[in-house]
């Protein structure tokens, strides 16, 4: 009977406890385990799961838009736009990504407005994060550095000076379309410019459009594209992680 009594007490405790306090293990999730990624030694170095698109040694991950070898200049660990050679794009195609790009506009300022250090990072070949020397440079704000070109101005102007290396850390969500080509979920982008938030999961209105409103057209995975806008903008340390 002694045991019976003990058991009964225990039973009452177990049941009574259950009524008062929820079991914390009920809201634990144990699987699947998130993949292990070794981060870079600093925030700008590629983590272990990144695809290195440019590390200063070769232009092999890129072609011009027609598939021809890149005619931009490779020097001192950087690649630099050569005027009129045209845009370049990655050989690989991407959808949702985290992208790190470093860029530098010419140290010598010889023009102004949109003519000063103009280039751009085109996500999926269509959606442009503008590159411009926006250090003491007046232009339309949805065309300055860090703008989604002709759409969203950056939240702040975090531009460094001409000749200084700068970084974009981009988190990009690709748009989704239905079978007929109708847009169901627009593209979104977050951008840190030199570590400063300048676009916060902003909705992209459509492909970059110089005239008129942008309009989505259905597409699949596509390259990352860098623009030749006629200014010798340099690039280095480009890596991307597929999300």
Are the C-beta atoms of 51 and 196 separated by less than 8 Å?
no
For residue 143, the minimal CB distance to a copy of itself (Å) is 7
The pairing of strands 88-90 and 62-64 is: antiparallel
Distance CA(225)–CA(63), nearest Å, equals 10
Q: What distance separates the 2 farthest-apart alpha carbons in the chain?
A: 98
For residue 103, list its beta bridge partners. 166, 235
For residue 68, the minimal CB distance to a copy of itself (Å) is 29
Cβ neighbors of 238 (< 8 A, separation 6 or more) are 52, 53, 54, 99, 100, 101, 102
For residue 72, the minimal CB distance to a copy of itself (Å) is 26
What is each CA distance from 87 to 72, 120, 156, 188, 193, in whole angstroms?
9, 10, 27, 23, 22
Helix (H) / strand (E) containing 10: helix 2-20
For residue 227, the minimal CB distance to a copy of itself (Å) is 16
Decide whether 72 or 168 has the Cβ nearer to a copy of itself: 168
Decide whether 32 or 67 has the Cβ nearer to a copy of itself: 32
Decide whether 8 or 110 has the Cβ nearer to a copy of itself: 8
Decide whether 48 or 68 has the Cβ nearer to a copy of itself: 48
Decide whether 24 or 67 has the Cβ nearer to a copy of itself: 24
For residue 22, the minimal CB distance to a copy of itself (Å) is 4
Decide whether 49 or 92 has the Cβ nearer to a copy of itself: 49
User: How many other CB atoms are found less than 10 A from the CB of residue 180?
Assistant: 6
Closest CA to 129 of 64, 198, 66: 198
User: DSSP letter at 26?
Assistant: G
For residue 25, the minimal CB distance to a copy of itself (Å) is 7
Decide whether 30 or 108 has the Cβ nearer to a copy of itself: 30
DSSP string, 223-240: --EE---SS--EEEEEEE
For residue 125, the minimal CB distance to a copy of itself (Å) is 20
């Amino acid at each position: 009977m002694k045991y019976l009594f003990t058991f009964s007490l225990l039973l009452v405790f177990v049941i009574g406890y259950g009524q008062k306090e929820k079991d914390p293990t009920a809201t634990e999730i144990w699987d699947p385990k998130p993949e292990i990624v070794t981060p870079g030694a600093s925030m700008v170095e590629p983590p272990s799961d990144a695809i290195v698109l440019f590390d200063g040694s070769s232009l092999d991950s890129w072609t011009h838009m027609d598939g021809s070898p890149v005619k931009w200049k490779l020097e001192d660990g950087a690649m630099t736009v050569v005027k009129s050679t045209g845009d370049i794009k990655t050989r690989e195609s991407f959808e949702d990504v985290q992208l790190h790009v470093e860029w530098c506009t010419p140290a010598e300022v010889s023009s102004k407005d949109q003519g000063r250090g103009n280039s751009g990072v085109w996500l999926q070949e269509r959606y442009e994060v503008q590159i411009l020397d926006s250090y003491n440079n007046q232009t339309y704000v949805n065309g300055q550095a860090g703008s989604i070109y002709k759409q969203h101005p950056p939240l702040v102007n975090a531009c460094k000076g001409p000749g200084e290396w700068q970084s974009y850390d981009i988190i990009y969500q690709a748009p989704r379309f239905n079978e007929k080509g109708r847009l169901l979920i627009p593209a979104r982008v977050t951008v840190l410019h030199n570590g400063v938030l300048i676009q916060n999961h902003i909705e992209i209105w459509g492909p970059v459009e110089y005239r008129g409103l942008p309009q989505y057209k259905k597409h699949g995975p596509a390259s990352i594209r860098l623009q030749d806008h006629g200014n010798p903008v340099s690039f280095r340390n480009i890596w991307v992680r597929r999300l």
